[in-house]
Chains A and B, each alone.
Chain A
Amino acid sequence: MIKETMTPTRRTWAAIKLEPCDRIPVAPLMDVMFPSRHRGMTVAEGISHPRRGFQAIVDTFNDVGGWDAMILPGYSLPIPPSIAAVMQVVIGDTRYPGKEPGFSLDSSPQFIEKELLTIEDYDEIIKLGWTGFAEKHLGRFFPLDPEILLAWTKRQMDRYRTEGEVWKARNIPSLCGSIVMSPLMFLSTRRSLVSFTQDLYRFPDKVQAVMDAMIDDLIVFAIEAARTTGIPGVELILERGGCFYYPLRIFERFEFRYMKKMIDAFAGEGLITVMHFDQDWTLNLPYLLDLPKKMCVCELDSTTDIFKAKEILKNHMCIMGDVPASLSSIGTPQEMQAYCEKLIDHIGKGKTGFILSTGCTIPFDAKFENFQVMINSVKNHLPQG
């Protein structure tokens, strides 16, 4: 066991600010699913009973001997009290375990991707802005009294703050007080990948105009949520704009310019951005050098080349990741140990600029012994070489 000389909070922030740490910090991306199963509940129970689900996270933290930080404090959503903000988060159709016959109680919620927004909606968003569009069309997506939605939003925000306080009391920092998608990610998931791709190639100017009409609102929602939760960071959800999906000319025009505008604005408010990169972004990594230094975390899911990321970004931002989901669920403890030590040695070289984490959320069917090995690896192994 390595002798610790820093608190989890100091260690985590030192890694983010590229300052030396006593050891590499570890911060799994955690929701209620894996902890619920570990504590003897079904996934459906954990999701349907937020307090029990959150308690399962705390219990799992205790069972495993603790980790250094929560990327998000729990499973609730920090949404500012506005219809436009809530619309940006919740329009969609998700299949939940326990809510549908034939869908196992131990299943992940799954987003059903379909064309929720139409081409005509693009014109409306351009004309009215996102807030105007959301207020005008709320009833189309939610046939509910707006007050009911806003009350739900308030409960979510209150719970988010409370969950953050629970961790704070244990000197465990929560990194993100706010969650937001890039405009590309939002439009791609709400138009559906195929239709949105056709839009990009058929009417790129219109897509850009929609993004221009949305971007300021997205920035305001994110900053307001972080201010309300008092947690000085934003989780920026990115998947569809990277080199797995599109060439660099599309990334530059439709993703990076908006990412940069958002991250610059967050940094201007003193907020760090945890860039949650799903899928492969290896070719996009050099662009990240244009983002504010020491104000971003590059969170990878094992499909981007994390070694390339270290080579490019080592003096610019902290890297987080990237234990593959398949390793957590069907790997052996020995394989997990070897993978984590390799990351600690190479990505954690210099004992800074790296936070060991799961590649995306820990899968609900992860083996507990594998998770334990991952958490222990940083406590027993310092970067070599």
Chain B
Amino acid sequence: MSELADAIADLKEDEVKKIVQDKIASGTNPMSIVDECRRGMEIVGQRYKNKEYFLGELIMSGEIFKEAMAAIEPNLKAGQCGKPLAKMVLGTARGDIHNIGKDIAATLLKAAGFEIFDVGVDAAPEVFVNKLKETGAPILGISGLLTPSFESMKQTVQALEAAGLRDKVKVIIGGGIVTEVVRKYVGADAFTDDAPEGVELCKKLAGEVR
């Protein structure tokens, strides 16, 4: 494993900054730096799965990854970013303004190679539908922390059906209180209450829509 990937996995914030700057200064291909950062995030995900890491470490690694990307991105030439794993529209359901879970999921999904179109919080069904039409994203993630968000999620899935998009878009719902019962009620394809598990499920959904 590379020094940079290890530094990210070990949450060594200052070390990551220095390695990234040195690599940029020495003319290393920026995409290879991004790949190393992503490998570091994969190790973080593995440690989370093994219960060595918890949400706090996911948050820290996500912030470190974001800082690294902010330094790398200006050095990427147009078209050098590589093809995303998949496009995905993400937002918090109407009536719910909680953004923390959604934002953590967005960071981890980006680190895993997804292109995320974040429609924010309190998003109405038509906002999700319009963004899906605009981007052609085949995955929709809806977050919610309150029980009324179940109804909004359901209405969003119904709006997808009405727009003729349901068979083209996989829907995953996430949040602290979602369960299999909620997934069935909403009509979603998958659910999660765990951000790294959500990333894995999204990878699986991306494989299904390819």
Contacts and interface: CB of A to CB of B under 8 A. Distances in A.
Interface string B170-210: 00000011110110010000000100000000000000000
A324 B177 contact: yes
A219 to B, nearest CB: 26
Given A194-B59, A326-B177, A108 B53 contact: no
Interface string B124-161: 00000000000000000000001110110000000000
B81 to A, nearest CB: 25
A336 to B, nearest CB: 11
Nearest to A330: B185
B183 to A, nearest CB: 10
B176 A198 contact: no
Interface size class of A (residues with CB under 8 A): 35 or more
Given A112-B97, A326-B181, A243 B147 contact: no
B162 to A, nearest CB: 22
B63 interface: yes
B54 A329 contact: no
A331 B176 contact: no
* Residue of B56, B63, B96, B179 with highest tally of chain A CB at under 10 A: B56
Contact of B56 (A245, A328, A364): A245
Contacts of B63: 194, 198
A326 B57 CA distance: 29
A107 B97 CA distance: 11
B11 A201 contact: yes
* Residue of B11, B13, B178, B182 with highest tally of chain A CB at under 10 A: B182
B144 to A, nearest CB: 11
Interface in A326-360: 326-331, 335
Nearest to A194: B59
A247 interface: yes
Interface residues of B, number: 31
Contact of B176 (A112, A113, A279): A279
Nearest to B124: A102
A303 B13 CA distance: 32
Given A110-B97, A279-B176, A324-B177, A247 B53 contact: yes
B120 interface: no
A324 B60 CA distance: 30
A247 B146 CA distance: 26
A325 interface: yes
B191 to A, nearest CB: 11
Contact of A200 (B13, B53, B56, B103): B56
Contacts of B57: 247
A326 B11 contact: no
A291 interface: no
A202 B56 CA distance: 12
Contacts of A261: none
Contacts of B59: 193-194, 197-198
Nearest to A112: B97
A250 interface: yes
A330 B182 contact: yes
A363 to B, nearest CB: 4
Given A197-B59, A202-B13, A95 B54 contact: no
A363 B146 contact: yes
A326 B60 contact: no
A202 B100 CA distance: 20
A135 B67 CA distance: 37
Interface string B53-79: 111110110010000000000000000
B176 A363 contact: no
A364 B148 CA distance: 8
Contacts of A303: 176, 193
8 contacts: A108-B146, A246-B55, A246-B56, A247-B53, A247-B54, A247-B57, A325-B177, A365-B147
Interface of A: 95, 104, 106-108, 110, 112-113, 193-194, 197-198, 200-202, 243-247, 250, 279, 303, 324-331, 335, 363-366
